[in-house]
């Protein structure tokens, strides 16, 4: 049947093909394995495909590549090196800025007996207390928990490094509560290069 304007109708098959041609191409996420060679502090990164999917589909599975890599923009790393009982422990710490006054620092500890995540968000402005939220997920057998407080000594906009230290201190406290003697080693100013490079001062 002709359209109201008198033009010929578009065959359904052509419409379907046109829609399929407009679909975004598959996106391949990558899982990164970080190997730290001690005592020289040399870090090697090995990346490989974690899964392929179309935007809008949900990633399944529990590994880090599938859970965090798929369809999520890469988050800048912060080189905080976790130790438990004096031994290096696999972990990854990253950061995300949401504008000039909101910073989130995330640490994932994928060790099977811990499977711990800590997500700390700092919302602040010069002259105001900074609102700090810590979201803890894990370890196995423990319910998720969230705490919040206002801190006068923290200010994400111009002192994001202090927020990263606060996050690390909270991580140590959580691990201590779980019965682990934990520590966080910082290699130096270079550990915060990505954090401060993408922060408000670099914008």
pLDDT, tens digit, 9 for 90 and up, residues 113-151:
999 999 999 999 999 999 999 999 999 999 999 999 999
The full set of domain ranges for the chain reads: 11-74, 76-203
The residue-averaged pLDDT of 150-179 equals 96
The residue-averaged pLDDT of 76-92 equals 96
The residue-averaged pLDDT of 50-76 equals 43
Q: Residue 65 above 80 pLDDT?
A: no
Closest C-alpha to 171, from 195, 198, 196, 147? 147
Q: 147 has which bridge partners?
A: 134
Tokens 């991580």 found at: 171
Neighbouring CB atoms inside 10 A of 93's CB total 24
**Predicted pLDDT of residue 63:** 41
pLDDT, the chain, mean? 74
The residue-averaged pLDDT of 4-30 equals 42
Which residue did the predictor score with more confidence, 187 or 101? 101
């Amino acid at each position: 049947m002709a359209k109201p304007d008198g033009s010929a109708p578009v065959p359904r098959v052509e419409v379907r093909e046109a829609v399929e041609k407009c679909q975004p191409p598959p996106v391949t996420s990558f899982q990164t394995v970080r190997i730290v060679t001690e005592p020289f502090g040399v870090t090697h990164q090995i990346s490989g495909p974690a899964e392929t999917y179309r935007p809008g589909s949900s990633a399944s599975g529990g590994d880090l590549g599938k859970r965090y890599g798929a369809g999520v923009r890469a988050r800048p790393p912060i080189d905080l090196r976790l130790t438990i009982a004096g031994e290096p422990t696999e972990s990854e710490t990253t950061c995300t800025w949401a504008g000039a006054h909101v910073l989130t620092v995330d640490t994932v500890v994928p060790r099977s007996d811990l499977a711990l995540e800590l997500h700390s968000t700092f919302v602040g402005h010069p002259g105001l207390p900074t609102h700090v939220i810590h979201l803890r997920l894990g370890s196995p057998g423990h319910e998720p928990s969230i705490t919040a407080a206002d801190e006068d000594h923290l200010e994400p906009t111009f002192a994001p490094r202090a927020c990263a230290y606060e996050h690390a201190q909270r991580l140590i406290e959580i691990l201590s509560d779980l019965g682990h003697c934990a520590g966080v080693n910082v290699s130096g100013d270079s550990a915060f290069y990505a954090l401060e490079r993408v922060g408000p001062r670099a914008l």
